[in-house]
Amino acid sequence: MNHLPVRKAVIPAAGLGTRFLPATKAMPKEMLPIVDTPTVQYIVEEAVKSGIEEILVITNSNKHCMENHFDKNYELEARLTESGKMQEVEMINDIAKMANIYYVRQKEPKGLGHAILCAKSFIGNEPFAILLGDDIVVNKKGDPALKQLIGAFEQKRASIVGVQTVPDSDVHKYGIVSPSLSTMPQGRLTKLCNMVEKPKTEDAPSNLAVLGRYVLTPAIFDYLESQTTGAGGEIQLTDAIKRLMDSQAVYAYDFEGVRYDAGDKFGFIKATIDFALDRPELQEALAAYIKKLAEEL
């Protein structure tokens, strides 16, 4: 394992999307678009830009349209070609060529740790990345969040969790890390001595929250296999990473970039506005509209 590069990533996408009902009654939440692009495509693009070659998506029975999205669509291609829409043809073909994407079903909704365990045979004995679909990270000036974590992994050859500081009022929503007091942080990298899933504000060991990006060694699977249920009655990835610290070092990397919580309605709306303000064809009209709204508020 020690010399292997990070080539594979896992994207867990088996959640029910309850927070976005009724939109998610018949459509996976990963296909909800920010402007015109499904959230899962932003995640796949980040993985590919970070050097990932093979992606395993953990799905459930309601996710066929996600598989279709990353596949060829010959009928649509033929119709667009007939009407001379060649730019659109290129766009839909590019999506199908982005990466080698595989799918496996999580048969029971037993939590994130259980979903990751479904990737065991796909990953084998390689280090691998995890990207959570609810966390969209934009880093306009530098490397994508995952690439930053992979850089940290290459430096330490140890598991890395991506963190950012969150306010006290939000620690209960996340996995919160506890930095080791005996090792000095090195820039954005901090050695950890503990991790706790969704603590109460008063119990949180820090304000550093894991925000949907991980690079882990395959040893995590040994711990996931024996992991008992934790917060929310689910098998938690956080609990298994905490146990991994018994045998291997684990670090937090405070990644650079703006992170949107696309699993939350307000976070989704913020992402939609910011992404639209970044589109040349939309920015002028949207900015004028926002200014007009602000005057009326």
Task: Indicate the angle between helix axes 280-296 and 265-277, nearest 10 degrees.
Answer: 120
At residue 143, the 3 state secondary structure works out as: coil
Please, which residue, 128 or 276, has the CB nearer to ligand G1P? 128
Helical pair 145-156 and 39-49, crossing angle rounded to 10 deg: 40
48-56, 122-130, 181-189, 205-213 -> range binding ligand G1P (CB under 6 A): 205-213
- CA separation, residue 227 to residues 173, 220, 261, 264, 292 (Å): 21, 10, 27, 28, 53
Please report, for residues 46, 135, 265, the alpha-carbon distance to residue 138 in angstroms, rounded to integers and kept in the order given.
Answer: 9, 10, 18
Interface region with ligand G1P, contact rule CB under 6 A, candidates 56-64, 82-90, 236-244, 249-257 = 236-244
Which one-letter DSSP state was computed for residue 59? E
Shortest CB 73 distance to ligand G1P, Å = 31
Of 13 and 80, nearer to ligand G1P (C-beta) is 13
Examine residue 123 and tell whether it contacts ligand G1P (CB under 6 A): no
| Binding of residue 46 to ligand G1P (CB under 6 A) | no
Q: Quick one: 17 or 212, whose CB is closer to ligand G1P?
A: 212
**Dihedral sign, Cα of residue 265, residue 271, residue 50, residue 68:** positive
What single-letter amino acid sits at 258? V
DSSP states along 214-266: EEE-TTHHHHHHTPPP-GGGS--HHHHHHHHTTTS-EEEEE--SEEEETTSHH
Binding residues for ligand G1P restricted to 66-105, rule: CB under 6 A = none
Among 14, 171, 238, 260, binds ligand G1P (CB under 6 A): 238
Which range of residues in 116-124, 207-215, 246-254, 282-290 is near ligand G1P by CB under 6 A? 207-215
Instruction: Please identify which residue in 212, 214, 242, 276 interacts with ligand G1P, judged by CB under 6 A.
Output: 212
Is residue 112 part of the contact set for ligand G1P (CB under 6 A)?
Answer: yes
From the list 128, 174, 214, 260, which residue makes contact with ligand G1P (rule: CB under 6 A)? 174
Phi-psi region of 261 (alpha: psi -120 to 50; beta: other; left: phi over 0): beta
Residue at shortest CB range from ligand G1P = 175
CB of 164 to ligand G1P, least distance (A): 10
Tell me which of 80, 197, 223, 235 binds ligand G1P, using CB under 6 A: 197
**Amino acid identity at 55:** I
Which parts of this chain interact with ligand G1P (CB under 6 A)?
112, 132, 134-135, 174-175, 197, 209-212, 236-238
